[in-house]
A = this chain, B = another copy of it.
């Protein structure tokens, strides 16, 4: 009973995520936020409580997207192995350098801006990292089963290394380094990588 909602909560959150993604948390005013979400002040505070709550909700929501593996499609479309990893990194750097709409991983943007205050944000990022790392590590384990990667490699460590390279390249590109240059540099990693045993 009572008056029904005039907007879709999830849709509004998606739009909020998009704004945070492109403009960052701090730089986004509540007014911008509400306009992007398509709702007014009343609905905003009545439904979500605060700007920060909305932020946390978008973090949860992005984790959901990760659970479904969406952003990692490139990885699953290939045989597990070095090539798949290289393709993942390549397509990621493409998305970082893309200038249309939200680019790169949302969690990277969030982590970049995050300054260690707000433990809930920290926790959300850590969940995201764990998930991404797990996906990559699984693929590496599969590659090892196929003999496409040496069994001596620690999949969890290697996965975190992959993420460090991707995140680092992301920051470098946003700092003004040319995408292809960054890509070239990261490919050095795969030149080092041992060929199939």
Contact = CB atoms under 8 A, between A and B. Distances in A.
Interface string A70-111: 000000000000000000000000000000000000001001
The SS class assigned to the A binding surface is: helix
A142 interface: no
Interface stretch (A43-51, A59-67, A181-189): A181-189
Contacts of A168: 163-171
Interface residues of A, number: 49
Interface string A174-194: 111100011011111101111
B160 A171 contact: no
Contact of A122 (B154, B171, B176, B188): B176
B163 A172 contact: yes
A170 B182 CA distance: 17
